[in-house]
Each structure stands twice: as C-alpha cells, then as structure tokens.
Amino acid sequence: MKNPVKKTAVKMAEKAFEKAPDSLKEKAKDKLKEKAKEGMEDKVRENAEEATMKVQDALLSAREKLGSVKKAGENLQERISSSNNNRQIKSYQDLKGIQHIKSSKDIKGANNIKSSTEIKSSGNIKKISS
C-alpha cells in the first residue's frame, strides 16, 4: 500500500493538472517526454556498453579456444606425418606367399645337428700376440 501522504500528493497533482491551462499541460507533457527520452537514452547507452563488453569477452574466449584447437590440430598433423615417415605401408608384393612356407626337405634333420666336437671351446679362440 502507498503512503497516505504520497496518495494525497498524487491526487493534488492530478487535480492541478486537470485545472491547468492547455498551454501548461502541453509544456508539462513535453518536459515529461524529454525526461523519459533522456532516461531511456542513458539506459540504452549503458546496456549497449554492457553488451559490447560481453561480446568482446565472448569473442576473446572464442579466439583463445580456436587458437588451442589450431595448435592441437597442428600437433596431430605432425604426429601423423612423422609416423608415416617412419613406417612404410606394405604392398601385396611384400606379403609372403606359398613358396615361402618350409617343406619337409627344408627342415633340418638329425644329421644337420652339430656334435660336441664341432662346438667351439675356449681353446679354439685365437690369442692376440703383441
């Protein structure tokens, strides 16, 4: 609820406005419009300044994020290119075929195993003479 003093002041202002001549009414309306415009202009300027600051902050944070994404992409490309240089991709010609499989003739038998006399010992090593 409004204050009783405020209520009476508002009623008095309304009655005074009603009884005032038309020229004063027009002047009062014009002054109220000007004050309202000035108040609105100030609010609009403040809001515009706040909006520009927010947009600038958002753009700066987006710029930083894009910079970090760019660096990560460059690092990834470097890793991929360095790994490609180190290993070669095998072609179908590098794969082993049927002819590379050992047959029974290629497997060593008991005759091919070294005996104890064929194994070198410390006596077979040549000495360096100076």
Q: Are the C-beta atoms of residues 28 and 17 closer than 8 Å to each other?
A: yes
CB burial of residue 22 (10 Å; 0-12, 13-18, 19+): exposed
> Residue 64: which pLDDT band, with cuts at 50, 70 and 90?
very high
pTM: 0.38
Residue 130: pLDDT over 60: no
